[in-house]
């Protein structure tokens, strides 16, 4: 009579190990084919990185937030993998900025250069003062009014003469009446023929 030998513990452990490995391979294949994996099937997708605002002068890539009080002063078309790079720095009285730059509060545009900033236009920023020409599109600071106009000013895009609001001045059209004043009579010959309203105390 032939006797059948019962497998020893070492043989049983080997079989169990191979079986476990096979099950692991099958589980991994299922995860790859279905796009899920243990512990990640219900995980939230990773959030997209958000560019942080740079708080010191330097080159930044498009889409980078510009910190308050900073302006764009240069452009490098080949920078940032040819997406274009921008140089930012703190604003100051009397500074050329690129056309894409923000205009910080408390500044006005007084000059224009159509070939500046690698061909996308330069704007010159200054602190507002009484009796000053500003370019078309420049902010009107609180307490100021536009009282004159010159078509050929600011590189032929037009400029406006800016003064502190006073009773007795004629203000040009296309601007709000400043606080503390009201519009009086209209004179068609004022503001270089554009017409103007006489300022009175509110």
What are the angstrom distances between the C-alpha of 146 and each of 5, 40, 44, 60, 109?
A: 109, 63, 55, 36, 14
pLDDT in tens, the chain (202 residues): 333 333 333 333 333 343 333 333 333 333 333 333 333 333 333 333 334 455 789 999 999 999 999 999 999 999 999 999 999 999 999 999 999 999 999 999 999 999 999 999 999 999 999 999 999 999 999 999 999 999 999 989 999 999 999 999 999 999 999 999 999 999 999 999 999 999 999 9
Which backbone phi and psi does 161 adopt, to 5 degrees? -90, 125
CA nearest neighbour of 87 among 53, 97, 125, 127: 97
pTM for this prediction? 0.70
pLDDT at residue 54, rounded to an integer? 55
pLDDT of 56 reads 86
Nearest to 103 by CA among 87, 91, 88, 117: 91
């Amino acid at each position: 009579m032939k006797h059948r030998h019962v497998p020893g513990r070492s043989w049983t452990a080997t079989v169990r190990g191979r079986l476990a490995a096979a099950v692991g391979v099958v589980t991994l294949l299922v995860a790859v084919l279905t796009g899920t994996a243990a512990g990640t099937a219900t995980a939230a997708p990773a959030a997209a990185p958000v560019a942080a605002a740079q708080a010191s002068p330097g080159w930044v890539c498009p889409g980078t937030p510009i910190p308050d009080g900073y302006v764009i002063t240069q452009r490098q078309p080949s920078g940032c993998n040819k997406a274009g790079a921008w140089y930012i720095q703190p604003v100051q009285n009397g500074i050329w900025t690129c056309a894409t730059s923000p205009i910080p509060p408390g500044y006005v545009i007084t000059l224009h250069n159509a070939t500046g900033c690698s061909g996308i236009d330069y704007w010159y920023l200054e602190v507002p003062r009484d009796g000053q020409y500003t370019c078309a599109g420049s902010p009107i600071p609180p307490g100021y009014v536009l009282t004159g106009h010159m078509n050929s000013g600011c590189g032929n895009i037009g400029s406006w003469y800016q003064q502190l609001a006073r009773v007795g001045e004629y203000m040009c059209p296309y601007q709000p009446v400043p606080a503390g004043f009201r519009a009086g009579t209209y004179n068609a010959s004022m503001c270089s023929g554009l017409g103007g309203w006489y300022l009175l105390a509110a």
